Amino acid sequence: MRGAGGVAAAASGCGAGVSGARCVEYVVAELRTRSMTAAMELPMAPTMKLTAITLDCADPRALAAFYQQATGLELVSESDDDFAGLTGDGGLFIGFQRVDDYRAAQWPGQVVPQQFHLDFGVDDLDEAEAMLLELGAAKPVFQPGGDQWRVFTDPAGHPFCLAIRRS
C-alpha cells in the first residue's frame, strides 16, 4: 500500500531514542513535506471553458426558435432541419440536434429522466414566466422552488429553471 509505505519510510527516520508523540510529529511533518513536494511536481490541469450545450429534440428549428425568442441569442446561419444553433456575445453555443423517436423527459417523474437542465437568471420571475408561456413553454404543477425559482419545460419537454438574477 502506497500510504502505509510512506508512513513506514517516514517513521524509519525517527531513530533510536525518539518515540511516542515526538515520532508522530516527525512522521506528520515528513509526510506533509513529501505531499507538498509531490503536488508541486504535478502538471497543471487544463483550463476548461464551457463552449456549447446541445439538446436532443424532434424539431431542431422549432426548439431553436423558442430559445432564440426567450434569450435573444442569434440563430446560426448554417442551421437546418437536423441541427440548429444559437450563439451570443459570451461565445456560448446552444445546439439542437434531431433525434429519431425523441422522448421528452417526464419531470418530476423518472420514467424518462431529465438527465440535465438549464438555469436562467431573470430580473422578474412573473414577467419572464408570462413571456415563456406565451412562447410555448409549460409550467409543471410541481414547483419545489417556492418563490425562489420556477421550473418550466420547453416545447420539446426539456425542464429548465428561472431564478432571480444575482447581482
- Mean pLDDT, the chain, whole residue set: 80
Q: Which of 35, 90, 42, 82 is nearest to 62 (CA)?
A: 82
Q: Higher confidence at residue 50 or residue 79?
A: 79
Q: Are residues 84 and 139 in the same domain?
A: no
Q: Are residues 165 and 123 in the same domain?
A: yes
The percentage of residues in the chain with a pLDDT greater than 90, rounded to a whole number, is: 49
Domain that holds residue 86: 49-101
Q: Higher confidence at residue 71 or residue 166?
A: 71
Mean pLDDT, range 135-159, rounded to an integer: 93
Mean pLDDT, range 125-149, rounded to an integer: 93
- What count of other Cβ atoms lies within 10 Å of the Cβ of residue 103? 11
Count of domains observed in the chain? 3
Q: What is the value of pTM for the model shown?
A: 0.62
List Cα–Cα distances, 9 to 62, 92, 107, in angstroms: 65, 51, 55
Mean pLDDT, range 89-113, rounded to an integer: 89
Q: Are residues 153 and 114 in the same domain?
A: yes
Q: Are residues 55 and 19 in the same domain?
A: no
- The full length of the chain comes to 167
Q: Are residues 125 and 156 in the same domain?
A: yes
The half-sphere exposure of 28 on its side-chain side, counting CA atoms within 13 A, is 6
The percentage of residues in the chain with a pLDDT greater than 70, rounded to a whole number, is: 69
